[in-house]
Copies of this chain bind each other. A is one copy, B any other.
């Protein structure tokens, strides 16, 4: 089968053997926003032509390909959602060379009734449940929009999204704070200072101004400013997400896992790193539940 993680900016395809092992993989900057005229079938056939010619005609996809801007809008499954519930929400798209399916995202509401959504992460979660076992677990998927997911006995119980990565980008790129920044996030000590600062009184809007005022007073070098800002925002994310004392399982690239592990460590919290190739395993498990 062919497993595809098709997001906003990237397209990642994997050829899996009957046991779900990756036998070939490729990626392209062919995210859904780059697909001209909405001809997703053409992009798929272009990038996977040899696999299809070799007889792979079952395709399972997840990510923003199932959003309003994608191939077909697949309605969200509601929490609690495990393998059964996500598989039940899969939709088949029109594709004449074989069977192509898209996984749904998942939605939940927080205590105040405000909705939240994931799309793509649910499949990664399904791919790591075997590693986690039964019981309750906290999984963090850091990024532009970080997701904190509570799993309870193999199902996604609830989750929250935090705009941490995007907040960093807009404050660095477009606010007065960015004007003084000379380097990227390279200073581990300044990063840790930012994480510690997030635990102080005053709130994030006040802490942000401190990036500038500490710079004005020569207490934060321009070269350390972006690192401090990153630590500050990630520290606030960790504090707000809440871990209930459980180990935080990080599901992301090794680089991001390093950053978050450092922040969690500064806050005295346990962490572990999950296999970041989880999406193929999740797609394989979903494929096994499809009606023949």
CB of A262, distance to nearest CB on chain B (Å): 18
Q: Does any Cβ of B come within 8 Å of A160's Cβ?
A: yes
Decide: B233 and A205 in contact? CB cutoff 8 A: yes
Total copies of the chain: 2
Question: Which residues of the other chain, B, contact A116 by a CB distance below 8 angstroms?
Answer: 209-210, 213
Decide: B171 and A175 in contact? CB cutoff 8 A: no
Contact of A205 among B115, B162, B173, B202 (CB under 8 A): B162
Q: A173-B174, A174-B174 are in contact. Are A200 and B110 (CB under 8 A)?
A: yes
A160 nearest in chain B by CB position: B206
Question: Which residues of the other chain, B, contact A197 by a CB distance below 8 angstroms?
Answer: 112, 114
Please, what's the 1-or-0 string for A100-139, where 1 marks a CB less than 8 Å from any CB in chain B? 0000000000111011110000000000000000000000
Q: Does any Cβ of B come within 8 Å of A72's Cβ?
A: no
Question: Which residues of the other chain, B, contact A155 by a CB distance below 8 angstroms?
Answer: none
Contact of A209 among B145, B208, B217 (CB under 8 A): B145
CB neighbors of B among A139-169 (8 A): 145-146, 160-164, 166-167
Contact of A217 among B115, B160, B175 (CB under 8 A): B115
CB of A111, distance to nearest CB on chain B (Å): 6
